[in-house]
Amino acid sequence: MPSVSRVRWGRLSLAAVLSGLPLLAGCTSSEDTEPFVPAVQGAKQPSGSGKLVGEDAACERVLKAAKSAYARLGCEAPAFAECPGFVRPAGGSGCFEYYESSVASCESSYEDAGSCRTLGPCIVTAERNDSLPSCEVGEGVGGQAAGTAGASPTDSGGAGNDAEAPAAAGAGGASN
């Protein structure tokens, strides 16, 4: 009859071998077993400088470019906000003008999209102007740029009404 220590040693050895077997079966020579799927293009916000464009003109131009791109590529279009909400900073009032260079860059971005995967929202860069007739002083936020794509003035998710927050000018919609 074997000794008690040999029996314990045998049991421990068997347990170690059996617990290590699943690790050996899971090894593969390939680093990645899943097919590569590139990420979808995200939102763009071209910088703005120079000449400023009124809200109505900026909105009409960028909204037209967005709708044309979705139609041209046959992509499922998101529900676009009406002008001026399409470019207006989220939660903002009519106190903004938009940089011509940013509007033109967004138009080009939509025109240059080659597929639904490369079609993404473009956010127009805004500058606050409290002297505009459409501006209701005391509402909205001050500053420049960054916001929610395709947001209506009542949507949350942008700059909100914090006095220190930057303004947001959104244009575009969800990409497919």
Q: What is the model's pLDDT at position 69?
A: 96
Inside any domain, residue 49: yes
d(CA 37, CA 71): 25
pLDDT along the chain (176 residues), means of 10: 69 75 61 72 86 95 96 93 90 89 96 91 92 74 41 34 39 41
Inside any domain, residue 36: no
Q: What is the model's pLDDT at position 173?
A: 41
Q: What is the DSSP letter of 19?
A: H
% helix / strand / coil in the chain, to the nearest 5?
30, 5, 60
Inside any domain, residue 30: no
Inside any domain, residue 29: no
Inside any domain, residue 82: yes
d(CA 145, CA 47): 8
CA angle centred on 157, ends 152 and 162, rounded to 5°: 100
Inside any domain, residue 163: yes
Inside any domain, residue 16: no
Whole domain around residue 60: which residue ranges?
A: 42-176
Q: What is the model's pLDDT at position 26?
A: 58
d(CA 143, CA 48): 13
Contacts of 132 (CB under 8 A, 6+ apart): 94, 95, 96, 97
Inside any domain, residue 5: no
pTM: 0.59
One-letter amino acid of 53: V
Q: What is the model's pLDDT at position 152?
A: 34
Number of structural domains, the chain?
1
One-letter amino acid of 76: E
Tokens standing for 58?
A: 């900026």
